[in-house]
């Protein structure tokens, strides 16, 4: 049986030293008590998954209905979409293969009027299920898409349009919950205290997973196995100190203290590359507060060895790196024996050995240029291992936030742009934002053509 490991051999590199590994140990006892209290109070539901039984019941109930459609159009943004895209790319890659004729997931996670209209022109409404995701039920981009899609469904399906839609939102409040109650359409809840960036292993990510036939139970099993030791009433300082998420958090906090202000997330599992985008939101939205945090930067191996890695190796020494690998990826086809002499060393080798060589070479290069690096090695690229990875990074993010003495579960500055956008659209209740807009738009322009 393969195992998952964290390789810390190159973690204390550059301005970090091995003694830094113990820098934050004195805070562990207090944080372990706080962690258990938060888990016990269901304020960190992505760790102990208290909603799992209800979630599984709902997924089993709705799966035959979901499977009856050929297309799923998902309306959601940020945490309502990034995790789902990562799951699709990792475990339903056939959608992106030539001549694919099976199910397809379409994720509308932006305000792109041209593409959105084109999708609605081309999608067969009678074979399409629409899933609308907003925890608050009031995300303007998603609600605007819902208004358009609702009319599209009515036009093509008449009164049957409500049989082609599911709303995933708060269990009790918000506009989408009101729509569920008014229309009687299918719905699943986003659990309390589960923010979007922590929600991939809820209905938010697992309804699309069920549609695609992904092993969603494996994802849940993997996640729970990582958080299990932290959920026991006897959870102590020793339990937390031994947990890999604590070590990542302590290392990440030390990086920031030593002016490593960028955290690379370098993925050397090609089908898992989109987990880098998911992690970027998780880390940035959780930790970027009060002038604190570090900038997450997704990178894809080996693609970025030929682009941005020049900066990583030759640029400022301001980066730490989480390096995601898997030793059991497909080996692929065998090189022929008649290759030119210059490439004779490839004769009889498997195509996949190139990826393993590049993985090692890039890691060594980062080490030799004094980049602190932790290798996250998953034994197999399966749903269970993905669930473990998701839980590991979510818990590490929360602990890092607490070490920074900020709240890793809110996102106050994200709301500012939303309020200004609502004021620009003419929504009521935004008098102060309207004044700010008038001042902004009234500035003397300084424009140059190019």
β partners of residue 105: 72
Q: Is the pLDDT of residue 428 over 90?
A: no
Burial zone of 158 (CB within 10 Å; 0-12 exposed, 13-18 middle, 19+ buried): exposed
pLDDT for res 292: 97
Strands (E), 330-411: 373-377
Dump pLDDT digits (tens) for 333-370: 999 999 999 999 999 999 999 999 999 999 999 999 99
Q: Is the same domain home to 302 and 390?
A: yes
Q: Is 418 part of the annotated catalytic residue set?
A: yes
Question: Over the chain, what is the mean pLDDT?
Answer: 95
Q: Is the same domain home to 256 and 361?
A: yes
CA-closest candidate to residue 81, choices 185, 204, 191, 259: 204
| CB-facing half-sphere around the CA of 265: CA atoms within 13 A | 23
The secondary structure of 88-115 as a DSSP string is HHHH-GGGGSTT--S-EEEEE-S--HHH
Q: Is 285 part of the annotated catalytic residue set?
A: yes
Structure-token pair, residue 336: 């022929």
Q: Is the same domain home to 189 and 247?
A: no
Strands (E), 224-314: 262-267, 295-300
Among 168, 186, 214, give the residue marking a domain's end. 214
Q: Is the pLDDT of residue 415 over 90?
A: no
| DSSP 3-state of 73 | strand
Structure-token pair, residue 400: 């890092």
Among 162, 190, 214, give the residue marking a domain's end. 214
Count of CB atoms within 10 A of residue 400's CB? Answer: 28
Q: Is the pLDDT of residue 173 over 80?
A: yes
- 400 near 287, Cβ under 8 Å? yes
Q: Is the same domain home to 187 and 132?
A: yes
Q: Is the pLDDT of residue 2 over 70?
A: no
Catalytic residue (choose from 19, 53, 172, 306): 306
Q: What sign results for the dihedral spanned by CA atoms 39, 44, 46, 49?
A: positive
Q: Is the pLDDT of residue 295 over 70?
A: yes
Dump pLDDT digits (tens) for 58-71: 999 999 999 999 99
Q: Is the same domain home to 184 and 279?
A: no
Whole-angstrom CA distances from 299 to 17, 264, 276, 389, 394 are 25, 7, 7, 17, 19
Q: Is the same domain home to 357 and 271?
A: yes
Give domain status of residue 191, yes or no.
yes
Dump pLDDT digits (tens) for 92-139: 999 999 999 999 999 999 999 999 999 999 999 999 999 999 999 889
Tell me how far apart the alpha carbons of residues 399 and 196 are, in angstroms, rounded to a whole number.
18
pLDDT for res 235: 66
Q: Is the same domain home to 190 and 235?
A: no
Q: The domain spanning residue 172 has which CATH number?
A: 3.40.50.10490
Q: Is the same domain home to 287 and 156?
A: no
Give domain status of residue 416, yes or no.
no
Q: In what order do the strands lie in the sheet with 262-267?
A: 5-7, 373-377, 319-325, 262-267, 295-300
Give domain status of residue 376, yes or no.
yes
Catalytic residue (choose from 285, 383, 385, 394): 285
Dump pLDDT digits (tens) for 223-274: 999 999 898 776 678 889 999 999 999 999 999 999 999 999 999 999 999 9
Structure-token pair, residue 150: 């609702």
pLDDT for res 420: 83
pLDDT for res 413: 82
Q: Is the pLDDT of residue 417 over 80?
A: no
Among 380, 403, 426, give the residue marking a domain's end. 403
Tell me how far apart the alpha carbons of residues 28 and 25 are, in angstroms, rounded to a whole number.
5
Lowest mean pLDDT among 290-299, 376-385, 441-450: 441-450
The model's pTM: 0.95
Q: Is the same domain home to 263 and 185?
A: no
Q: Domain range for residue 182?
A: 45-214
Quote the number of domains for the chain.
2
Give domain status of residue 184, yes or no.
yes
pLDDT for res 412: 83
Tell me how far apart the alpha carbons of residues 18 and 15 are, in angstroms, rounded to a whole number.
10
Q: Is 217 part of the annotated catalytic residue set?
A: no
| DSSP 3-state of 272 | helix
Tell me how far apart the alpha carbons of residues 58 and 187 are, in angstroms, rounded to a whole number.
9
Give domain status of residue 446, yes or no.
no
pLDDT for res 369: 96
Q: Write the CB contacts of 315 (distance below 8 Å, at least 6 apart in sequence).
A: none
Give domain status of residue 431, yes or no.
no
Tell me how far apart the alpha carbons of residues 45 and 54 are, in angstroms, rounded to a whole number.
13
Q: Is the same domain home to 179 and 195?
A: yes
Whole-angstrom CA distances from 252 to 69, 297, 378 are 44, 14, 20
Task: Give the mean model confidence (pLDDT) for residues 312-333.
Answer: 96
CA-closest candidate to residue 374, choices 15, 10, 18, 17: 10
Question: How far, in whole angstroms, is CA 385 from its chain's centroid?
Answer: 15
Give domain status of residue 255, yes or no.
yes
Q: Is the same domain home to 278 and 179?
A: no
Dump pLDDT digits (tens) for 133-167: 999 988 999 999 999 999 999 999 999 999 999 99
Q: Is the same domain home to 297 and 203?
A: no
Catalytic residue (choose from 156, 292, 350, 418): 418
Give domain status of residue 239, yes or no.
yes
Task: Give the mean model confidence (pLDDT) for residues 441-450.
Answer: 90
Task: Give the mean model confidence (pLDDT) for residues 4-15.
Answer: 96
């Amino acid at each position: 049986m393969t195992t998952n490991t964290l390789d810390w051999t190159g973690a204390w590199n550059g301005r970090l030293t091995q003694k830094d590994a113990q820098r934050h140990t004195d805070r562990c006892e207090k944080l372990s008590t706080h962690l258990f209290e938060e888990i016990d109070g269901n304020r960190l539901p992505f760790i102990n998954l208290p909603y799992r039984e209800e979630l599984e019941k709902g997924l089993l109930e709705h799966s035959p209905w979901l499977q009856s459609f050929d297309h799923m159009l998902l309306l959601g943004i940020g945490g309502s979409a990034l995790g789902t895209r990562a799951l699709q790319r990792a475990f339903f890659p056939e959608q992106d293969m030539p001549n694919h004729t099976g199910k397809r997931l379409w994720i509308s996670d932006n305000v792109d009027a041209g593409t959105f209209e084109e999708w609605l022109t081309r999608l067969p409404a009678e074979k399409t299920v629409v899933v609308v995701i907003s925890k608050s039920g009031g995300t303007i981009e998603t609600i605007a898409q819902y208004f358009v899609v609702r009319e599209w469904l009515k036009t093509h399906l008449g009164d049957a349009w409500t049989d082609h839609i599911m709303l995933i939102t708060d269990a009790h409040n918000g506009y989408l919950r009101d729509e569920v109650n008014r229309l009687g359409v299918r719905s699943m809840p986003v659990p309390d205290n589960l923010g979007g960036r922590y929600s991939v292993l809820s209905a938010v990510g697992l309804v699309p997973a069920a549609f695609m036939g992904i092993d969603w139970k494996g994802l849940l099993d993997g996640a729970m196995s990582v958080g299990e030791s932290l959920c026991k009433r006897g959870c102590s300082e020793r339990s937390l100190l031994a947990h890999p998420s604590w070590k990542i958090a302590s290392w990440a906090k030390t990086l920031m203290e030593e002016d490593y202000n960028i955290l690379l997330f370098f993925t050397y599992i090609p089908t898992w590359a989109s987990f880098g985008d998911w992690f970027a939101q998780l880390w940035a939205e959780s930790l970027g507060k009060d002038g604190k945090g570090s900038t997450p930067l997704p990178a894809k191996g080996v693609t970025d060895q030929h682009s941005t890695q020049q900066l990583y190796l030759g640029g400022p020494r301001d980066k730490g790196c989480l390096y995601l690998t898997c030793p059991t990826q497909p080996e692929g086809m065998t090189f022929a024996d008649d290759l030119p002499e210059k490439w004779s060393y490839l004769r009889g080798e498997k195509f996949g050995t190139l990826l393993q060589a590049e993985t090692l070479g890039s890691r060594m290069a980062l080490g030799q240029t004094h980049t602190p690096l932790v290798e996250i090695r998953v034994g197999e690229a399966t749903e269970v291992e993905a669930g473990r990875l998701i839980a590991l990074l979510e818990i590490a993010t929360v602990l890092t936030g607490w070490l920074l003495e900020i709240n890793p579960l809110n996102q106050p500055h994200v709301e500012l742009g939303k309020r200004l956008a609502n004021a620009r659209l003419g929504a009521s209740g935004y008098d102060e934002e309207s004044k700010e807009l008038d001042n902004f738009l009234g500035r003397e322009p300084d424009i140059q053509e190019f």
